[in-house]
Structure 1
Amino acid sequence: MPRTAPTTLLDTVSSLGTTSGVANIIQQLSLPPVGEGVSESRVVSGSPRRRPIKRARTTGQYLALAVAGSDEDRAAMRSAVAQVHRHVRSGDHSPVAYNANAADLQLWVAACLFRFFLDQHVLLYGDLDRAELDTLVRAASPLATGVNVRPERWPGDWAAFEDYWASMLPRLAISQEVRRDFESLADLGFLGEAWGLPGRLLARLLGPAYHFFTRANLPPYFRELMGWTWTAEDQRRFDRALVALRWADRLGNRAVLRLVYRLYVADFRLRRRLGLPVLGRLRVSDVMVRDGGRRPGQRGTAARKSDRSR
């Protein structure tokens, strides 16, 4: 066990978190308006299917600013995210209505991001008491306010968070189209779409293990939504992996990961100082990314000139 209980979200960062990113995405996108919004997205510049490294950086920076940034940093990121989200709205043929800037949807995303931090700690080191959970819920507020959720809408303590989480579960569902997206993320198949042959080779090498860890990090309710099985042997295998990950933390990996978060903050501040768009150039396609919008090497036809920079 860690010597002290976590009092900030940065304290919860662990080696297990490097294996749970897609599991958390599945939780976020299991709310249909969120899942369909991402599945139908035309924002090429933010898609892991086109720019996986950039997407990993910008997501990491959002998390880093929430846990280790200043109010000024978060305000700048909030404005940049809102600009991107303006281009993610449902159309006439969308299966559900959505608007990526809607506070109700962003509150759910923020709740899932909180679970990203909390679950990686609890799975490795055990349950926290109510007072410790209350402290972490309050510390997590920037995850929500960073996407324009009013502070008063964020749960004030663990009991309120549990009530909110339970109220959302009946609203979750995963369509066939979104499930295919999840599978390509979980087995790293999307890397082949982004990078061609090198990506396909990486997916073949690392995909099976990452798919396992994605299933392992998902709470049972979400595994059932995905139609994924989980056996006693799977659990034993995961338990052995947790032992190794605890050792990785003890040998310094946790300190390295915290340093990475601080480097994300430093990079964000440098980009602002240099006048660069913190999320990079915004590129929007006429065609959904999943349908081939702006494949590598294509010239885009719908990038908004007003959003061009860097």
Structure 2
Amino acid sequence: MRRASIRDVSAEGALLAGAGAAILLQVAEPTVAAGVARHSDFATRPLLRLRTTLSYVYAVVFGRDDQVATVRAMVDRAHASVPGAADPELQLWVAATLYATGADVDERIWGPLDPASAEQVYRDNAVLGTALQMPPELWPPDLAGFRSYWEERRTRLEVTADARKVMQDLLHPTALPWWLRPGMPLVRLLTAGLLPAEIRAAYGLPWSRLRQQRFGRAFRVLAAVYRPLPRRLRQWPMHHFLKVLD
């Protein structure tokens, strides 16, 4: 086990491996799915949406006050016409998916945190929701409380036609630069593998023992290649997106 802070964990570019799973978990909530499918340019500009999300996460964890204000204004503008976007319970769910998928990927790459670090990193991740005006008291007080919330909330998810549309746009994009297309099979594998089994099945994503083996092998290779990289390379996305906000 290792000691780490939210800044150690959130700075790692490898967390991008969980971005697809986080999005599909978010839109498995019908109100979120309807907002994304009907009020977003996700289908035609998926990279822009990813950039906005990353800018938000990096700003609220690492940014200066002016950078946090910038991304909050960006999010507020994007959500202004979206029904339910200001609902604190939905903000909690979105923040929860970012934390849960990030923690999952982090552990797969680096191994588990020691209990004290795990609790502190979890508590500090409340900022992902409170920066969107989610009341702090909505964030479960500890990891045990979060796990109870997570398990109960998953039972109320529903993969609607809107969610399946977002899934199709995410995993089979038509507006993607040619140089990113060869990586999409890996994106589809990692995204499906990081989803809870019942959510993966609800999306109709294919899975099998062979796919499970490939998923495990992909993370082992990713960890073996990623961990020896210099920190400046591992943290390049964080520095890049913060610089864009200046």
- Give the TM-score normalised by structure 2: 0.88
Larger Rg: 1
Q: Is residue 2:47 matched to residue 1:49?
A: no
State which of 213, 219, 225 in structure 2 corresponds to 1:248: 225
Compare the two structures and name the one with the higher helix fraction: 2
CA contact (8 A) 1:60 1:264 kept: yes
What does residue 157 of structure 1 align with?
142
Matches within 5 A, 1:70-109: 70-89=64-83, 99-109=84-94
- Over the matched positions of the two proteins, sequence identity in percent amounts to 29
Runs of 4+ residues over 6 Å off in structure 1: none
What number of residue pairs does the alignment pair up?
Answer: 246
234-243 vs 140-149, which moves further: 234-243
Amino acid at match of 1:65: A
CA contact (8 A) 2:13 2:237 kept: no
What does residue 56 of structure 2 align with?
62
CA distance in 2, matches of 1:105, 1:8: 23
Amino acid at match of 2:186: A
Structure 1: unaligned runs, 5 residues or longer: 90-98, 271-310
What does residue 9 of structure 2 align with?
11
CA contact (8 A) 1:66 1:74 kept: yes
CA contact (8 A) 2:46 2:170 kept: no
What does residue 28 of structure 2 align with?
30
Q: Is residue 2:108 matched to residue 1:123?
A: yes
Secondary structure of the 1:20 match is helix
Structure 1 residues 9 and 117, CA gap change in structure 2 (3 angstroms): farther
- Give the TM-score normalised by structure 1: 0.71
Q: Is residue 2:136 matched to residue 1:145?
A: no
What does residue 172 of structure 1 align with?
157
CA contact (8 A) 1:17 1:120 kept: yes
CA contact (8 A) 1:34 1:100 kept: yes
What does residue 236 of structure 1 align with?
213
Structure 1 residues 13 and 73, CA gap change in structure 2 (3 angstroms): closer
Q: CA deviation at 1:65?
A: 1.1
CA distance in 2, matches of 1:9, 1:172: 30
Q: CA deviation at 1:125?
A: 3.4
CA distance in 1, matches of 2:121, 2:75: 24
Secondary structure of the 2:221 match is helix
Q: CA deviation at 1:254?
A: 5.6
CA contact (8 A) 1:13 1:120 kept: no
Structure 1 residues 141 and 211, CA gap change in structure 2 (3 angstroms): same
Q: CA deviation at 1:12?
A: 5.1
CA contact (8 A) 1:110 1:143 kept: yes
CA distance in 1, matches of 2:16, 2:110: 16
Q: CA deviation at 1:180?
A: 3.0
Structure 1 residues 79 and 12, CA gap change in structure 2 (3 angstroms): closer
Structure 1 residues 223 and 209, CA gap change in structure 2 (3 angstroms): same
Tell me: higher relative CO, structure 1 or 2? Use CA pairs within 8 A at least 6 residues apart.
2
Q: CA deviation at 1:129?
A: 4.5
CA distance in 2, matches of 1:262, 1:154: 28
Secondary structure of the 2:86 match is coil
Structure 2: unaligned runs, 5 residues or longer: none
What does residue 204 of structure 2 align with?
227
Amino acid at match of 1:174: V
